[in-house]
Amino acid sequence: MTLTPQWLDELRARVTLSSVISRTTRLTKAGHEFKACCPFHNEKSPSFTVNDQKGFYHCFGCGAHGDVIRWMTDQRGLSFMDAVKELASEAGMEVPAPDPRAAKQAEQRDSLHDVMKAAQDWFAAMLAAPEGERARAYLATRGFDAHTVQRFGFGYAPEGRQALKAALKDVPEAKLIEAGLRIAVDDKEPYDRFRGRLMLPIEDARGRVIAFGGRILDAQKTDAPKYLNSPDTPLFDKGRTLYNLHRAGPASRQTGRIVVVEGYMDVIALAAAGIADAVAPLGTALTERQIEMLWRLVETPVLCFDGDAAGQRAAMRAITRALPLLRPAHSLRIVRLPAGLDPDDLIKRDGVRAMEALLAQPATLLDVLWEHERDAAPLTTPEDKAGLKARLMAHVDTIADKDIQALYRRELLERFSAYAFPRREQREWKPAGRGTPAPARSDPAQTGRLRRAVAGGARDALAAAVIAGLLRHPGELARHAEALWQADLADPRLAALADAMDEGVPLETAALATILAKRGLAAPNPDEYAALPLGFLVEDAPPKQARADLAQAVGLLVERPALERALAEATRRFESDLSEGAYAEQQRLLKRKLDFDSRLRQMASARAGAPGGASNNDGTMAD
């Protein structure tokens, strides 16, 4: 489809901007322009202007600016092509088709829209007829008033396998089947899909009926699903549709929020209570496409799930879908309702203010991810703790944005360390009484050995080796700069190299060496890391293996400060609290540090024999 600038200009000229905006925003004439309180942000005095002659709107408060097409995409939440099509329809213009096949498909969809509208009109008429008495009674139990029933288009599909066909006798059978209203099975006579159900139209972003949802009214029919939606059709793709988007999109411009609930009845309950910015997926977990649609409206949609186990599973499915898509400023917020309550239950029990209070304090995506994995299994053994860490890092690895991935990794590792290895409360030491084992006594030789371990003699050598490796392979700096920025590393040369990325220094050895020199720092000489003959320092090491070795060395370097801090704190406690518990904690951390040093020595020795050495497929060192 080719939309030339000339065609788009003609479209803009045929549509009066103020008439389109005035449908949802109250405009006041002011000379040659119109004024209003801005629909894109909350304000008390009008700073939003509309100029029909120039064909644009502008807000002097928040900077919102655009033409009539931009209004339809930003305020209504339509895609560009949907906005163009709706405006062209109003202006009596034909949208250019790319080829005969596309034109035929467009004509086919238009005819299906007519079929769906006819079905909706009939369902609505049946709700008002004697046949709809049971459906009307159900709506009364939900507390939906006449305005809500009319606004959301409730209807009723009567019993009878051929009722719809008889009512829409002028519509070809093939069209009814194609629209998902009738079911054809093998050689049997087709029959109506929806029978004996309260009907609800599902509309697209332009407010056109594209599908239906039906709730069963006969509780005795245990073999039938409680809710039944239309199948996917040329009009309806449930993974690309959000229920109530055409109403919630404009409302979200006022609230700065969009709320995602589990089902369309939750949406209607919220709307009836005055919360108009809610949408719902249609029988599936939130999809990547739906998340992108939400982000077009607000940067952090609020997902509201029931407090039961199914609601928690739905929250995690949404989180795992969103993680690979995260980008700066765009995320999700999560609200969890009290156990056993859906939005309608909560509003009826505690009032709409209780619901608003929950929506005003949603949890972050990271918080919910951490709490879910933390509580997934008890952490009683080292293996349990390792499992928690592995699950967290598996989630982090799915994040495509490297900056966000690094920040998530750091935050989750900090939470993991604080939770898995909590600080122990100091207790006042008292002399042991009769029958009480005496606490460990302070041993100056032992304390001195621990202090030397905390000092970490190999640390400076490892830092020097990493610096030399980054100078030898400067292209790897971009990969590791974030870790070096965030880590608490003592060698100032590492901070200088990380800053080089922020300063836009070319990733070349000579340029990085110049950065060090300007700060009065010198590149490491071989004597500094002679004790660590690492593979990436070998002249003819294979590039791929050298990069893997360097990444492993950076990981060790970043990991070590946290371990050393914990060991230093344990040493301090041991000196002031001569208890068995303090001694045991100190010994445990000392063993972890010795294991760490052993890994470093193994890494160096594995590389000393041959350039590049050997590694396993997962990047760990081969024994």
For position 193, what pLDDT does the model report?
A: 95
Please provide the average confidence, as pLDDT, over all residues in the chain.
81
What pTM was estimated for this model as a whole? 0.58
What is the full DSSP assignment across 290-332? HHHHHHTT-SS-EEEE-SSHHHHHHHHHHHHHHGGG-BTTB--
Q: Which helix (H) or strand (E) holds 509?
A: helix 509-518
User: Residue 320 corresponds to which tokens in the numbers above?
Assistant: 């795992």
Average pLDDT estimate for 242-270 = 91
- Angle, CA of 44, 47 and 52, to the nearest 5°: 135
Cβ–Cβ under 8 Å, residues 69 and 5? no
Distance CA 499, CA 507 (A): 12
For position 540, what pLDDT does the model report?
A: 76
Considering 423-437, 499-513, 600-614, the range whose residues carry the highest mean pLDDT is: 499-513
> Which residues, other chains included, contact 18 with Cβ-Cβ below 8 Å and sequence gap of 6+?
27, 34, 50, 52
Structure-token match 């629909």, residue found? 39
Residue 431: pLDDT over 60: no
Query: Predicted confidence band at 65 (pLDDT cuts at 50, 70, 90)?
Result: confident
Sign of the dihedral defined by the CA atoms of residues 283, 288, 290, 294, in that order: positive
Summarize pLDDT for 68-89 with one digit per residue, the tens. Answer: 998 888 888 788 888 898 898 8
Instruction: List domains and CATH numbers for the chain.
Output: 5-91 (3.90.580.10), 100-236 (3.90.980.10), 444-608 (no CATH)
User: Residue 209 corresponds to which tokens in the numbers above?
Assistant: 């009926």
Q: Is 68 helix (H, G, I), strand (E, B) or coil?
A: helix
Distance CA 192, CA 187 (A): 16
Burial status of residue 387 (CB atoms within 10 A of its CB: 0-12, 13-18, 19 or more): middle
Query: Predicted confidence band at 554 (pLDDT cuts at 50, 70, 90)?
Result: confident
Query: Predicted confidence band at 425 (pLDDT cuts at 50, 70, 90)?
Result: low
